[in-house]
Structures are given as structure tokens and as C-alpha cells.
Amino acid sequence: MGLGACIILIAVGAIFTFASDWELEGVNLDLVGLILMAVGIIGTAVYTSILRRRRMVVPPVAPTIAEDERRDLH
């Protein structure tokens, strides 16, 4: 799930919770909206943590000189 999908989940959940006055028998739209917003927020957090890990730069390892190469240099 990408960042766009997470933002859409948050927006749809907010609309269900705060902007709708629909009544469905057996379905609490306020609770459905809160669940969608929670899933969107968790998805955004997971996505950004994975993205941060991908962008982490590992410093290059200094090349080591073997004993045989040191003897050749002298």
C-alpha cells in the first residue's frame, strides 16, 4: 500500500466519521471511519519508516591491504 492509498484511507475515514449523517442498519459509520483513519495512519508510519531505511547511506568500507601486497610495495 503506497502513500497515496494511506492518505485516501484517512480522508475517507474522516468523511465517514465527521461529514456524513447516513444511517445504515447494523453498521456504525463513525466506527468504520475511525478504523479507516487508524489503518491509514499506521500505513503512513510503516511506509515512511521503510522509506527512511531505504535512504540510509552506508559509509564505504576502506580497502584493506593484505600482507602479500605490503611486501610487494616495499
User: What does 47-74 look like in DSSP terms, one character per residue?
Assistant: HHHHHHHHHPPPPPPPPP--HHHHHHH-
What pLDDT is stored for residue 71 in this prediction? 58
Cell of 59: 559509509
pTM over 0.85: no
What pLDDT is stored for residue 73 in this prediction? 55
Q: Going residue by residue through the chain (74 aa), what tens digit of pLDDT does each one get? A: 788 999 999 999 999 999 988 888 999 999 999 999 999 999 999 998 887 776 666 677 776 666 655 555 55
Q: What is the DSSP letter of 27?
A: B
